[in-house]
Amino acid sequence: MRVLDANFLIDYLSGRDATKTYYEQHGGADEQWIMPAPARAEALVGVGNLPDGDVERAVEALSWGHVYETTEALSAEAARIADAIGPQGPYLDGVDAVVAAVGRETGATVVSADSDLTHEATRDVIDVESYRD
């Protein structure tokens, strides 16, 4: 099971090879891919903001992932993760912290290229892998 952040989803929709390579090297269709609802929304809204964006095509393109809904408990867990990292570590915005909380709640690896999520201080709190070299 892998939890995908918004960067992965945006790169996937943009056709970035690193996402396809990561997907194939980590189980492809046999793996369970989790897309936290806020991360998926961030990627789709980005498409909607493009002058030539095709939202319906993007929704279809992400249909292979499982959407994980945000709950009150998950929001509190996101805040606990930010607190555990502390002010000396990287700043997790709301979406990044929710993605991290989904990883913790499901016991899954978070997949990201975001320097705040892949930071060593964050990795001390949750399991994170970078999909870019």
For residue 51, give the CATH number of its domain. 3.40.50.1010
Identify the pLDDT of residue 55.
97
Minimal CA–CA distance to 127: which of 106, 109, 100, 107?
109
Cα 68 to chain center, whole Å? 11
0.85 surpassed by pTM: yes
Number of domains comprising the chain: 1
Task: Measure the CA–CA gap between 39 and 41, rounded to whole angstroms.
Answer: 5
Identify the pLDDT of residue 133.
75
Q: What is the pLDDT of residues 64-90, one digit of tens each?
A: 999 999 999 999 999 999 999 999 999
Q: What percent of the chain has pLDDT over 90?
A: 99
Q: What is the pLDDT of residues 93-129, one digit of tens each?
A: 999 999 999 999 999 999 999 999 999 999 999 999 9
Token pair for 68: 């994980």
Cβ–Cβ < 8 Å for 68, 34:
yes
Identify the pLDDT of residue 49.
96
Structural domain of residue 49, as residue ranges? Answer: 2-130
